[in-house]
A and B are shown apart, each in its own frame.
Chain A
Amino acid sequence: MKIVLINYGAGNIQSILFALERLQVKAVLSDDPEEIRSADLVIFPGVGEASSAMAKLKATGLDTLVSSLKQPVLGICLGMQLMCNYTEEGNTEGLGIFDTSVLRFPGSVKVPQIGWNTITELKSPLFQGIKDGSHVYTVHSYYAPLCDNTIAVSEYAGPYSAALQQDNFYGVQFHPEKSSAVGSLILSNFLKMGS
């Protein structure tokens, strides 16, 4: 099984590589379209600021590539947000895979949200074996509201999408690679989709 982690110079990817290694899986880090297209599974990471991350994707043509992928793709954190239609962060057009905009948390709560939040209303093979109300680690200032693509819900200044799915595309707002046993199970559920 070949797993490719898309490398577009956005943020901290070492933690994802280590989390996969703890599951006895080695991922390839790549920005080569052929290599990404030929993978069984693709992980689309992202940490940092949306408009500069999107600019990097566009500069390398990876934006259209990601949208055209047919194998299971997992966007993490900013990766998930960039897969939406639009994000308020830097007034950025997204890939339009998930049919929602990404908004900034209101000032009535502390921003960024940092810490362990619960995920509920889980409805995807991604969450097989995960108990409703399990805790995952999350760090973000922008969120995707609930929409038709929502497959997990968290609450912070109201309910929002902790995870999204459209066909072969999955996105999680939280960091499975940093979410202890729960996160590791979610990652291994994703790995099962590639075999």
Chain B
Amino acid sequence: MLTKRIIPCLDILNGRTVKGINFVGLRDAGDPVELGRYYAEEGADELVFLDISATEQKRKTLATLVRHIAAEVDIPFTVGGGISSVEDVDVLLKNGADKVSVNSSAVRRPELISELVGKFGSQCIVVAIDAKKGEDGWKVHLVGGKVATDIDFFAWAEEVADRGAGEILFTSMDHDGTKAGFANETLSELSERVNIPIIASGGAGTMPHFRDAFHQGKADAALAASVFHFKEMQIRDLKKYLREEGIPMRI
């Protein structure tokens, strides 16, 4: 039976993890490789590394980092952040990334999704969508949610799936950072509208929030950052809880 996935997300700035991750027992919690290995041992099903740096050196630094992660971590990982071309993706996959995620660049030029799928296959192309609910429905936002658009979220999600993306990583900006639960109603509707796996993001605060994202939101995977980084919950305990709640989990 296919299990639901728990995915910690690590922000990367100039080759280092950020957000004040403070772990006892790790020699260097700023080292994405060591942190990735730690989460893999904790039972994470996948990892997402989101590069938030904006330097000239970015591409080269990220490729080197991806290579180190791939050498050390034996579970799949996705790399995202500023990816905007076939060449960007090529270098990341060649260095051992399993999947890449594209966001703003795909909204600006939707053909990018088709190009990436044609060249690398659906299985490694994740499209991340940041959205927020306005007066007339959910709208797509760009640049980490900073720039609003009038693009309808569900219409965009359908186009993304039609263009062959393998997965959608949906972040509700209304829920992100609130620790009040995921956008379950929207997630559930998204699952009705598209037939590719959905990763839920934004709003994780407690273990029941994850349960609800799977039960009510029908998500295939749930992503979170701070609840894991600040040890508010251990992935091992979370997965045990979810299994007891009747959700298939790899333990």
Contacts and interface: CB of A to CB of B under 8 A. Distances in A.
B197 A112 contact: yes
B64 interface: no
The secondary structure that dominates the B interface is loop
A114 B167 contact: yes
B197 A110 contact: yes
A113 to B, nearest CB: 6
Interface string B47-85: 000000000000000000001001100111000000000
Interface in B133-162: none
Interface residues of A, number: 36
A21 B123 CA distance: 24
A62 B109 CA distance: 38
Interface string A172-195: 000101111101100000000000
B250 interface: yes
Nearest to A78: B121
The secondary structure that dominates the A interface is mixed
B234 to A, nearest CB: 17
Contacts of A139: 76, 123-124, 166
Given A12-B96, A21-B71, A47-B124, A115 B2 contact: yes
A128 interface: no
Given A14-B96, A107-B195, A115-B5, A19 B74 contact: yes
Nearest to B66: A14
A18 B196 contact: no
B2 A184 contact: no
Contacts of B130: none
A164 to B, nearest CB: 20
A154 to B, nearest CB: 8
B221 interface: yes
A48 B121 contact: yes
Contacts of A137: 75-76
Contacts of A155: 1-2
B3 interface: yes
A25 interface: no
A130 B11 CA distance: 35
B197 A140 contact: no
Interface in A135-149: 135, 137, 139-141
Contact of A178 (B75, B166, B167): B75
Interface string A84-121: 00000000000000000000000100111111111000
Contacts of A184: 74
B126 to A, nearest CB: 9
Interface in B158-191: 166-167
B95 interface: yes
Interface of B: 1-5, 40, 45, 67, 70-71, 74-76, 93-98, 120-124, 166-167, 195-197, 220-221, 250
